[in-house]
């Protein structure tokens, strides 16, 4: 008992959080793989397993259908498909993991994009019997567009190709060749059999030719410390805290989450859009004052001077400012059944800022399977990805998405229905 307490007290101080996304269809073994990761890390409980076993039986299926664990909605269970993003959790003493589990079919591109938006790692599954297929390319392209820092490619069902090294190498070459056209920084390959557990948590006895690590080891050790931007200081003001009590009569705190860079007490900061400068008097948290703040901390900043600052403004450093732009080039992923209307006004949400926009120009539509740029078809429908130019009513204080995923991302909202109709990455 004592050891366990020690183990978890240890985790409390130095475990970090890794978010990864998977995409896949019914047959490629994704559910089996997730089921195995959860089961082997003891994140599946006996009563859950009993419920899944009973549900499998009721459906007249054999064995345990692990997809029933992740496919939680009635419609998904009825149709045997994953419709939406499901979030799953497991932990090892080294890390806590959040899986964004998404469907892989092209009609769910928007769900894959959603799952990818916050991920540190994209896990791509390839069926060793089929090699790189359209769906593999699509997943890799989405990972590249959404700038997921790390890609791990699991070549699955190795048991069905006699654990052949040659097959593994061929698929690896094929994938390398394809992804040289993409903007992917870090790729890692692992031959696995999710069904038998080869190289998932335990090293495979069947593939002694493979000298690399298991998937779990990779997930536990991939370096994510530099996934945040620690260079460009960006603090979108989210909310102004004014206690209005005797003890804190003149307190005016700017609450928000650090979107980039390291802010230090005493730093000179500039307010956008006003351009006024001041010094950071205090960085406050509930625990008290701290000396410096970095992403993704939620803090409250107090300035030396009494300036007019409100939600939607941004605190930056004078010598390193984001672009202040009304004409913005964006890679847009369309989410809504109603196609994009170029003459229509949409709401733009960007950091804590809210403006309106019009799409001025559709430069090209991207074929999500081949990367082909389609210059002819300008109609943007659900699940389409297109490069567009938009014009906003007020300037956005933005960075290229490649540089900062927080200050480089937007969503578009339909003013009539209030639905989120698109997500965009600023170029």
Partner 1 sequence: MNYHLNHLRELEAESIFVIREVAAQFENPVILFSGGKDSILLTWLAKKAFHPARIPFPIMHIDTGHNFPETIAYRDAWVQELGVKLVVASVQEAIDQGMVQEEKGYNASRNGLQTAALLHAIEKHKFDVALGGGRRDEEKARAKERFFSHRDEFGQWDPKNQRPELWNLFNGKKHIGEHFRVFPISNWTELDVWQYLASEQVSLPNLYFSHRRLCFQRDGVIMAMSDFINLKPHEQTLEMIVRFRTIGDMTCTGAVLSNAANLDDVIAEVATSRITERGGRSDDKRSETSMEDRKKQGYF
Return the residues of window 286-315 that contact partner 1 according to CB under 8 A.
Answer: 286, 292, 294, 296-298, 300, 311
Write the binding mask 124 to 163 for partner 1: x where contact by CB under 8 A, - elsewhere. ----------------------------------------
Helices (H), 162-309: 165-179, 215-221
Dihedral (CA of 279, 285, 290, 295) sign: negative
Please state the closest distance from residue 8 (CB atom) to partner 1, in A.
6
Write the binding mask 45 to 84 for partner 1: x where contact by CB under 8 A, - elsewhere. xxxx--x---x-------------xxxxxxx-x-----xx
Please, which residue, 81 or 321, has the CB nearer to partner 1?
81
Please state the closest distance from residue 184 (CB atom) to partner 1, in A.
20
Residue with tokens 């390193």: 320
Q: Which of residues 320-339 bind partner 1 (CB under 8 A)?
A: 335
Please state the closest distance from residue 369 (CB atom) to partner 1, in A.
21
Residue 15 phi/psi, 5-degree rounding, is -75, 140
Please, which residue, 274 or 285, has the CB nearer to partner 1?
285
Dihedral (CA of 190, 196, 197, 198) sign: negative
Please, which residue, 120 or 136, has the CB nearer to partner 1?
120
Please state, in angstroms and as integers, the Cα–Cα distance from residue 248 to each residue in 241, 251, 252, 309, 376, following that order: 11, 5, 9, 19, 61
- Interacting residue with partner 1 among 36, 120, 409, 426 (CB under 8 A): 409
Q: Which of residues 175-214 bind partner 1 (CB under 8 A)?
A: none
Residue 332 pairs with which residues in a beta bridge?
A: 386, 424
Stretch that binds partner 1, among 22-30, 41-49, 129-137, 212-220 (CB under 8 A): 41-49
Q: 102, 186, 189: which is closest to 144 by C-alpha?
A: 186
Q: Which of residues 223-262 bind partner 1 (CB under 8 A)?
A: 225, 228, 230, 238-239, 241-245, 247-248, 251, 255-257, 262
Q: Which of residues 7-36 bind partner 1 (CB under 8 A)?
A: 7-8, 11-17
Buried-state track 389-414, b at ≥16 Cβ within 10 A, e below 16: ebebeebbbbbebebbbbbbbbbbbb
What is the C-alpha to C-alpha distance for residues 234 and 273, in angstroms, rounded to an integer? Answer: 13
Q: Which of residues 85-124 bind partner 1 (CB under 8 A)?
A: 85-89, 91, 95-96, 98, 110-111, 113-114, 117-118
Residue 102 pairs with which residues in a beta bridge?
A: 23
For 47, counting Cβ atoms within 10 Å of its Cβ (0-12 exposed, 13-18 middle, 19+ buried), the class is: exposed
Size of the site for partner 1 (CB under 8 A): 86
């Amino acid at each position: 008992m004592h050891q366990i307490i020690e183990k978890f007290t240890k985790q409390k101080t130095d475990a970090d959080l890794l978010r990864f996304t998977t995409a896949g269809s019914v047959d490629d073994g994704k559910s089996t793989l997730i089921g195995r990761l959860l089961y082997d890390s003891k994140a599946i409980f006996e009563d859950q397993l009993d419920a899944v076993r009973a549900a499998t039986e009721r459906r007249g299926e054999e064995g345990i259908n692990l997809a029933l664990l992740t496919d939680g909605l009635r419609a998904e269970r009825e149709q045997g498909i994953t419709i939406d993003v499901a979030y799953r959790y497991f932990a090892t003493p080294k890390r806590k993991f959040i899986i964004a589990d998404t469907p892989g079919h092209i009609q769910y591109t928007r769900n894959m994009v959603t799952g990818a938006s916050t991920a540190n790692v994209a896990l791509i599954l390839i069926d060793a019997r089929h090699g790189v297929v359209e769906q593999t390319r699509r997943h890799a392209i989405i990972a590249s567009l959404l700038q997921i820092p790390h890609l791990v490619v699991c070549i699955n069902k190795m048991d069905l190709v006699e654990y052949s090294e040659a097959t593994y190498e061929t698929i690896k070459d094929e994938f390398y060749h394809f992804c040289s056209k993409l903007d992917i920084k870090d790729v890692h390959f692992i031959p696995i059999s999710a069904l038998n557990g080869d190289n998932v948590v335990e090293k495979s006895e069947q593939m002694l030719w493979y000298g690399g690590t298991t998937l779990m080891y990779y997930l536990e050790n991939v370096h994510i410390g530099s996934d945040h931007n620690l260079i460009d200081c960006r603090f979108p003001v989210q909310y102004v805290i004014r206690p209005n009590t005797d003890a804190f009569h003149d307190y005016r705190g700017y609450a928000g989450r650090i979107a980039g860079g390291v802010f230090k007490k005493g730093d000179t900061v500039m307010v956008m859009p006003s351009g006024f400068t001041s010094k950071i008097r205090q960085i406050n948290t509930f625990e008290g004052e701290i000396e410096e703040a970095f992403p993704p901390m939620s803090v409250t900043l107090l300035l030396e001077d009494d300036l007019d600052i409100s939600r939607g403004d941004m605190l930056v450093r004078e010598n390193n400012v984001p672009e202040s732009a009304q004409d913005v080039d964006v890679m847009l992923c369309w989410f809504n059944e109603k196609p994009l209307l170029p003459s229509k006004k949409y709401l733009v949400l960007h950091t804590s800022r809210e403006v309106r926009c019009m799409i001025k120009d559709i430069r090209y539509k991207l074929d999500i399977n081949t990367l082909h740029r389609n210059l002819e078809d300008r109609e943007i429908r659900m699940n389409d990805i297109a490069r567009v130019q938009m014009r906003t009513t007020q300037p956005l204080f933005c960075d290229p998405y490649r540089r900062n995923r927080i200050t480089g991302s937007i969503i578009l909202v339909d003013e009539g229905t209030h639905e989120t109709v698109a997500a965009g990455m600023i170029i």
